[in-house]
Structure 1
Amino acid sequence: MLDPKFLEDISRRISTALAATPVADLEKNLRALLAAQLAKLDLVTREDFEVQKALLARAQERLKQLEAKLAELEAQRK
């Protein structure tokens, strides 16, 4: 079996080696580019989406109640 400390050491060494190469700059630049492109899109967070989804469900339920009440009142008028 491999010692977890050995794997951590290898991972740390690889990270350190990559940080000293242009790969780190490339990764940083790609992340910045990706973030800039995503910012241009019309996206919402999952949390905002879920809030709006819940509000819509409540509005639809209230609409059903009001439609039923209206139908009841119209039936009483006749």
Structure 2
Amino acid sequence: MIKPQKLEEIAKQIHESLPTGVKSLGSEVEKKIHQVLQSQLNKLDLVNREEFEVQTKVLLRTREKLAALEARLTELEK
């Protein structure tokens, strides 16, 4: 799904954007932000890039076969 390094980067950016008083709580806030992000992202129905690419290729092949069958049907109907 999402790389842990990317989650760490997002959590850090959120932590840095917090007001100074909240930022002073330190790494505990950043850890909690990371936990919340991970929890919410796990609830999403996401696919990884590799799976997406595979399904895109399958769809392309299916479209090509459908076009060929449609052309053959048109020819047979003549």
When normalised by structure 2's length, the TM-score is 0.62
Query: How many residues align structurally?
Result: 55
Rg: which structure is higher?
1
Alignment of 1:47-66 (within 5 A): 47-66=50-69
Higher RCO (CA < 8 A, seq sep 6+) = 2
Q: Does the residue aligned with 1:43 lie in a helix, a strand or coil? A: coil
Q: Which runs of 5+ in 1 are unaligned?
A: 1-20
Question: Percent of aligned positions with the same letter in both sequences?
Answer: 49
CA RMSD, Structure 1 to Structure 2 (Å): 1.5
- 2:33 paired residue number: 30
- Of 65, 68, 71, the match for 1:68: 71
Counterparts of 1:50 and 1:25 in 2: how far apart (Å)? 38
